[in-house]
Structure 1
Amino acid sequence: MKVTLEELRAFLDEQFPQGAAFGSLQKLGDGWAEMKLAVDEEHLRPGGTVSGPAMMGLADVTVYAALLTRIGLVPLAVTTNLNISFLRKPVAHRPIWARAKMLKVGRTLGVGEVFVYSEGAEEPVAHSTMTYSIPPER
């Protein structure tokens, strides 16, 4: 693993301060990460469900964190593709959390997947796969 939990938290605060709106980093390992988002009114859609953009943002930043455990603190690694399936309705006013793992990390691309859960539920509320572009080393 190329980065610790504390190093990655500090990096995200400095390089991606708007990322705090998408959740907080909870756990980290070699090629995986977990994040949590405290759901409040700004994340809800009519009908009392968590919005798709809130779940996508959480998923995206979680995969980014998982990728950085493998490539180090690279600010310009960017999402090039994101596919998400919404599987069931999340519980309103309960945190959602995501667990991402990298499926493959090469020289120029990283592919990961993430499951999003509603706190207290066993079944995932969303599943996403995404690809990140890794900038060339200088």
Structure 2
Amino acid sequence: MPAQDNLEPVLTAAEVNSLMATVYPQLNDQFTFYEALDVFPGGCTVRLNAGARHLRPGGTVSGPSLFTLADIGGYVCVLSHAGPDALSVTTNLNINFVRKAEAGPIDGHCRILKLGKSLMVFDIDIVAGPERHTVAHATGTYSIPPKRTPS
């Protein structure tokens, strides 16, 4: 399924990372665990630099860590395409875990399926390991707050 046509980003990956560091500092604290790598028309690529704190027993990256990466992918898409309103929120997120992921770089390839005035629907393919196999796939919806008019 192709992404929605005619979508142009309004922020770069660096600008989104800077915005998230300001409005959501607890995401990474003093580290760079979650980051936007690229923003392109209709999508983005995000990364989880998974370390020991992201592992569950058995050396597998935890589901909540992968879920967070999926949510961050949607957040980066909505910020970079609908505008830098930090009050955009997740209204739905469904994830399927396909295979285990080990520590290391885990990338999320996110695409916008539909961007409207009040909602954005996206999906994300999360890949890891040397072969970059899919470890999870998610779909979600973000609510976009109404544009505020200056008074």
Same fold, TM-score > 0.5, yes or no = yes
User: 1:27 is matched with which residue?
Assistant: 38
User: How far off is 1:119 after superposition?
Assistant: 3.4
1:48-127 to 2 correspondences below 5 Å: 48-90=59-101, 92-127=102-137
Q: TM-score, normalised by structure 2?
A: 0.85
Q: Say which SS state the counterpart of residue 72 (structure 2) adopts.
A: helix
1:33-44 to 2 correspondences below 5 Å: 33-44=44-55
5+ unaligned residues in a row in structure 1: which ranges?
none
Q: Say which SS state the counterpart of residue 76 (structure 1) adopts.
A: coil
Q: Say which SS state the counterpart of residue 67 (structure 1) adopts.
A: helix
Q: Say which SS state the counterpart of residue 38 (structure 1) adopts.
A: strand
User: 2:6 is matched with which residue?
Assistant: none
User: How far off is 1:30 after superposition?
Assistant: 1.9
CA distance in 2, matches of 1:15, 1:132: 17
Deviation sequence 1:67-98 (CA, Å, 0-9, x none): 222211011000010000000111x2222111
User: How far off is 1:34 after superposition?
Assistant: 1.0
Q: Say which SS state the counterpart of residue 109 (structure 2) adopts.
A: strand
User: How far off is 1:50 after superposition?
Assistant: 0.6
Q: How many residues align?
A: 137
| CA contact 1:31–1:67 (8 Å) conserved in 2 | no
CA distance in 2, matches of 1:98, 1:131: 16
- The AA in structure 1 aligned to 2:20 is L
CA distance in 1, matches of 2:55, 2:75: 24
| CA contact 1:19–1:61 (8 Å) conserved in 2 | no
CA distance in 2, matches of 1:9, 1:42: 21
CA distance in 1, matches of 2:66, 2:39: 19
User: 2:12 is matched with which residue?
Assistant: 4
RMSD value, Cα:
1.4
| CA contact 1:79–1:131 (8 Å) conserved in 2 | yes
Q: TM-score, normalised by structure 1?
A: 0.92
User: How far off is 1:123 after superposition?
Assistant: 2.2
Q: Say which SS state the counterpart of residue 125 (structure 1) adopts.
A: strand
CA distance in 1, matches of 2:35, 2:129: 14
